[in-house]
Amino acid sequence: VVEHTELGRRFAAKVVSSQVSDTALERLKNEARVTSGIDHRNIVDVVNLGRSEDGSVFVIMELLEGEDLGVRLGRQLDDHPDTPWLPDEEVQLYVPEILSGLDAAHEAGVIHRDLKPENIFLAKRPDGVTTVKLLDFGIAKNAQPEGNHRLTRTGQIIGTPLYMAPEQARSMSDADARADIYSIGVILYEMV
């Protein structure tokens, strides 16, 4: 958590040391560029990308209060082992917002490629209402021709296997919007 000294407003910061690989630095920059290009209430808002005096790369984004869907699912399992699925009213709230954010990403030509419960944040607004935010576009692919610089080697698989579409597991370059929809299907199965 960081605070803007002039505005007095708090933000979340993601920082990658200059000592990590060039690929990790490029992924963070890619995440910031891709995410900031999608203006939608269900996508985390990235407000700045920069480099500190020590060479670390940072991304500044909106500060969210709440928990990710993975934590929520885990709590449901712990509290209700006989009914580990989420209540219908929660599912009916979360799923349209997840799909709305994903649709906005796809409309912008962005394929997330790592959708999982931990990358879906259930943000509590000050009025107590929950808003879903999609996070972590670090391995996202821009499907637009000008956005296809490679951050993965041919044959390299990155992502979360339990939520990964078969074609994505075979080749990251084969992943298109349908791979994200497959991942959402797995998440929905977990929720219900």
Point out the residues that are catalytic. Answer: 114
How many angstroms separate the CA atoms of 141 and 5, rounded? 34
Structure tokens at 148: 């296809």
How many angstroms separate the CA atoms of 92 and 123, rounded? 16
Burial of 67 (0-12, 13-18, 19+ CB in 10 A): middle
Structure tokens at 61: 């984004």
110 and 148 in contact (C-beta within 8 Å)?
Answer: no
